[in-house]
Amino acid sequence: ELKVEQNPLFLSMQEGKNYTIYCNYSTTSDRLYWYRQDPGKSLESLFVLLSNGAVKQEGRLMASLDTKARLSTLHITAAVHDLSATYFCAVDRTGSARQLTFGSGTQLTVLP
Amino acid sequence: NAGVTQTPKFQVLKTGQSMTLQCAQDMNHEYMSWYRQDPGMGLRLIHYSVGAGITDQGEVPNGYNVSRSTTEDFPLRLLSAAPSQTSVYFCASSPKGLTGNTIYFGEGSWLTVV
């Protein structure tokens, strides 16, 4: 059974600071996704990571994937209040039809 | 381009009632899925489909039925609603293929069973 663990579950950080969210998964995967969710809203796709060593960046967010360690990270650089949201990683089992297993989410609050 | 459309957005049911959550996509995607999200948790897969006429169970299928008669539509049926099915339901679709395709999520359907 595929398990996906995120940490931390809750994160409060000051504006301007850097921090990393970690996502560990238990079995081989074809791809890893990062999503953002605002309260009462749907999921917004941030990154899709396909291969070992993949790194993608968008604005203040950078995601990376280490398939050997079964670990993905979402790094936040110089946080701003607008980044406050819940962030989920999700893993697509090898050979599956986009059947995602999600982590529990990291609720990020950026304080002024 | 409407993307993934879910209806209704909000619904209150009484225990034992049945209902259907509708999901439609206009992107000709082969893959479609239903997830539920409970407070403080990530999404969990209920059922999925790899194409018209083909469906299968996900992680939490009990109490739900699906069918896929067309590529566009993937309705989720609650057979006899229970309070434990109070949740937010998301439909998703994606194209078939090996490259990094985005998975598109609907806006969600908020269901309360009393």
Q: For chain A, how far is it from start to end, CA to CA, in angstroms? A: 41
CB contact under 8 A, B103 and A97: no
CA distance B80 to chain A (A): 26
What amino acid occupies position A25? Answer: Y
CB contact under 8 A, B45 and A43: no
How many interface pairs between A and B have CB atoms less than 8 angstroms apart? 61
Q: How far apart are CA A8 and CA A23, in angstroms?
A: 9
B63: which DSSP letter?
T
A73 in Cβ contact with A23 (< 8 Å) = yes
A39: which DSSP letter?
T
Give the helix, strand, coil percentages of chain B, each rounded to 5: 5, 50, 45
B83: which DSSP letter?
G
Q: Tell me the chain A residues in contact with residue B94 when contact means C-beta distances shorter than 8 Å.
A: 98
Q: Which residue of A has its CA nearest to B43?
A: A102
Q: Encode pLDDT of B74-107 as tens digits.
A: 999 999 999 999 999 999 999 887 665 789 999 9
B91 in Cβ contact with B106 (< 8 Å) = yes
Task: Per-residue pLDDT tens, chain A, 112 aa: give them.
Answer: 889 999 999 999 999 999 999 999 998 887 899 999 999 999 999 999 988 888 999 999 999 999 999 999 999 999 999 999 999 999 987 677 788 999 999 999 999 8
HSE toward the beta carbon, residue B93, CA cutoff 13 A: 24
Grade residue B2 by pLDDT with cuts at 50, 70 and 90: low
Q: How far apart are CA B36 and CA B60, in angstroms?
A: 9
* Cβ neighbourhood burial of B66 (10 Å; 0-12, 13-18, 19+): buried
Q: Is A82 helix (H, G, I), strand (E, B) or coil?
A: helix
Taking the Cβ of residue A105 and every Cβ of chain B, the question of whether any pair is shorter than 8 Å is answered with yes
The pLDDT of residue B1 is above 60: no
User: For residue B55, what is the enclosing H or E element?
Assistant: strand B54-57
